[in-house]
Chain A
């Protein structure tokens, strides 16, 4: 039994989601290999070789993988699949994009967003926006699955796996990267931060989010948002927390001016401590909050910021 984990990275840096996925792979048992597919990404392979529990790193360094295009990456993974009992990727937008292609080409279903390994063929995953947890058993020859990073601890480092190059250059030639607009921020990454401050429609405007940025900077926190705040154009889409956005589970989640729709709760209710600040005491967010403050955010956020 050998598991292949496909690394999440930007050609320079290995992302922490991969460390959680390696932990899931270790819980399955057997050997763990990591595939780093990218362009000029030796540094990522070196980082992956240091993950505890990983016995081999496959490096596919080729310009056709530079932007993780699903058509090319899917083919590459399928060409390597023969050696593996399990193929895992993080449930990020990259993993969700290419891994179902791998599953279909291997004639198996993908098991999405695994949150627990029960046995090598049995896993738990949330369904219906996390309002139910399904235990599923797969009799497929190879198990293809995405792993929710917040459900697994990051693996340790200190290993020294061998790095071997795989030569395949899979270029489907049917899709092309045109460009990207990435959000640059000095703040911690939303899915990896230990404190998250999130704003909703109640923030009223993009300018008012400055209040949250100031508070976040004082706390070393990341800033998130509800879909309503994204739709209203207050903040970019990559800040959305929820069923169809990012999953977060920080030590502290502060929800400000957001009501707590089930789709939002799906993305944050695993947080250790939840604080809700809302002027409507009936807001459903208070049902999951450890500490609720019924107040006008425009009064209490500046006060909180100044007193910390």
Chain B
């Protein structure tokens, strides 16, 4: 069984993004970039499936500019076998990405497709579900456990009330939550080896897809900032403030 993993290059999760002075967008100039943390978890899960003999090959795909080849190489250093980059400007819309991924799935015929549950830049949380719908396949979103059993994959999902388990016919789409696994660090020899692994570059036109969205960004603002607060010296003072100043207890 082949596993396909979709990865996105995003701002490093430790960086607090700035808004451009003209409010046209956020400012990503000279900002540290990285693989979306949920995508790292997706790669790790796929590599573990290969190590345990369930999967035979791990293919990673990313839609974006040349710079996201850095993240594809990083995924290959973690154990993915080959990579595909579909050339597009950075930050393509989710529906276009889902349409492109659907074409890749048709070509590659994986048994399982693993995505992150959410990209930490757009915070969209929708690409995996869209891909599943376009392919008319089942989805196990927000996964904290994935087990392949015969022709099915059993997925435990993190939901608002606790945990839910579903059984999905394969091929299936899974999106990862933080607890699914802890990604490994790449070792130097593996980073060297990854440079020689195959990386194919495609254009959306190769798949007959146009990357375009009817959703446009009007402006970007900073969120309302909170007034600086005060320090209290004791529990008594805290209770007094909450009762008589804030009036919340």
Query: Roughly how many angstroms separate A10 CA and B164 CA in the complex, as a whole number?
Result: 13
**Beta-carbon contact of B124 and A98 below 8 Å:** no
Q: B98 in the interface, Cβ–Cβ < 8 Å?
A: yes
**Beta-carbon contact of B239 and A180 below 8 Å:** no
Interface residues as binary, A257-273 with B (CB distance below 8 Å gives 1, 0 otherwise): 00000110000010011
Question: In B109-135, which residues have CB < 8 Å from any A CB?
Answer: 117-118, 120-134
Known contacts A103-B95, A236-B162; is-contact A132 B120 (Cβ 8 Å): no
Interface residues as binary, B47-86 with A (CB distance below 8 Å gives 1, 0 otherwise): 0000000000000000000000000000000000000000
Closest approach, in angstroms, between the C-beta of B143 and any C-beta of chain A? 12
**Beta-carbon contact of A103 and B126 below 8 Å:** yes
Residues in B neighbouring A238, C-beta threshold 8 A:
158-162
**Beta-carbon contact of B138 and A71 below 8 Å:** yes
Interface residues as binary, A23-39 with B (CB distance below 8 Å gives 1, 0 otherwise): 00000000000000000
Partner of A304 from the list B138, B141, B179, B239 (CB cut-off 8 Å) is B239
Closest approach, in angstroms, between the C-beta of A19 and any C-beta of chain B? 16
Query: Roughly how many angstroms separate A294 CA and B133 CA in the complex, as a whole number?
Result: 50
Residues in A neighbouring B215, C-beta threshold 8 A:
109, 111, 136-140
In the complex, what residue of chain B is closest to A246 when comparing beta carbons? B160
Known contacts A100-B130, A174-B137, A291-B230; is-contact A237 B158 (Cβ 8 Å): yes
Of A80-88, A122-130, A200-208, the one with at least 4 CB within 8 A of chain B: A122-130
Known contacts A109-B94, A126-B223; is-contact A231 B178 (Cβ 8 Å): yes
**Beta-carbon contact of B222 and A100 below 8 Å:** no
Partner of B230 from the list A122, A138, A195, A292 (CB cut-off 8 Å) is A292
Residues in A neighbouring B163, C-beta threshold 8 A:
180-182, 236-237
Query: Roughly how many angstroms separate A117 CA and B166 CA in the complex, as a whole number?
Result: 35
Closest approach, in angstroms, between the C-beta of B126 and any C-beta of chain A? 4
Residues in A neighbouring B219, C-beta threshold 8 A:
134-135
Partner of B161 from the list A113, A129, A182, A263 (CB cut-off 8 Å) is A182
Question: In B28-58, which residues have CB < 8 Å from any A CB?
Answer: 38
**Beta-carbon contact of B217 and A136 below 8 Å:** yes
**Beta-carbon contact of A176 and B167 below 8 Å:** yes
A: number of interface residues (CB 8 Å): 89
Closest approach, in angstroms, between the C-beta of A149 and any C-beta of chain B? 11
Residues in B neighbouring A100, C-beta threshold 8 A:
94, 125-130, 133
Q: B236 in the interface, Cβ–Cβ < 8 Å?
A: yes
Q: B105 in the interface, Cβ–Cβ < 8 Å?
A: no
In the complex, what residue of chain A is closest to B248 when comparing beta carbons? A252
**Beta-carbon contact of B162 and A182 below 8 Å:** yes
**Beta-carbon contact of B141 and A101 below 8 Å:** no
Residues in B neighbouring A140, C-beta threshold 8 A:
214-215
Residues in A neighbouring B121, C-beta threshold 8 A:
127-128
In the complex, what residue of chain B is closest to A177 when comparing beta carbons? B166
For B17, B125, B141, B236, the residue with the greatest tally of chain A CB atoms inside 10 Å of its CB is B125
Known contacts A137-B216, A231-B179, A300-B235; is-contact A178 B249 (Cβ 8 Å): no
**Beta-carbon contact of B161 and A308 below 8 Å:** no
Q: B21 in the interface, Cβ–Cβ < 8 Å?
A: no
Known contacts A112-B123, A183-B162; is-contact A178 B231 (Cβ 8 Å): no
Q: A105 in the interface, Cβ–Cβ < 8 Å?
A: yes
Question: In B195-249, which residues have CB < 8 Å from any A CB?
Answer: 213-223, 226-232, 234-236, 238-239, 241-242, 246, 248-249
**Beta-carbon contact of A294 and B231 below 8 Å:** yes
Partner of B164 from the list A74, A177, A269, A275 (CB cut-off 8 Å) is A177
Closest approach, in angstroms, between the C-beta of B134 and any C-beta of chain A? 5
Partner of B229 from the list A97, A102, A274, A300 (CB cut-off 8 Å) is A274
Residues in B neighbouring A219, C-beta threshold 8 A:
249
Known contacts A93-B142, A101-B130, A104-B133; is-contact A262 B217 (Cβ 8 Å): no
Q: A210 in the interface, Cβ–Cβ < 8 Å?
A: no
**Beta-carbon contact of A195 and B126 below 8 Å:** no
**Beta-carbon contact of B223 and A293 below 8 Å:** no
Query: Roughly how many angstroms separate A293 CA and B238 CA in the complex, as a whole number?
Result: 8
Q: A244 in the interface, Cβ–Cβ < 8 Å?
A: yes
**Beta-carbon contact of A275 and B238 below 8 Å:** yes
Partner of A291 from the list B26, B141, B168, B241 (CB cut-off 8 Å) is B241
A-B contacts besides A110-B126, A290-B230, A308-B239, 11 pairs, CB < 8 Å? A104-B130, A112-B123, A127-B122, A175-B138, A177-B164, A183-B162, A237-B162, A244-B178, A273-B242, A300-B235, A308-B249
Q: List 17 A-B contacts (CB under 8 A).
A: A74-B133, A94-B159, A97-B142, A101-B139, A103-B126, A110-B94, A131-B223, A132-B221, A133-B220, A135-B217, A237-B144, A238-B158, A262-B16, A274-B226, A291-B241, A293-B234, A308-B249
The 7 closest A-B pairs by CB, nearest first: A100-B126, A100-B129, A104-B130, A101-B133, A175-B138, A290-B229, A104-B133
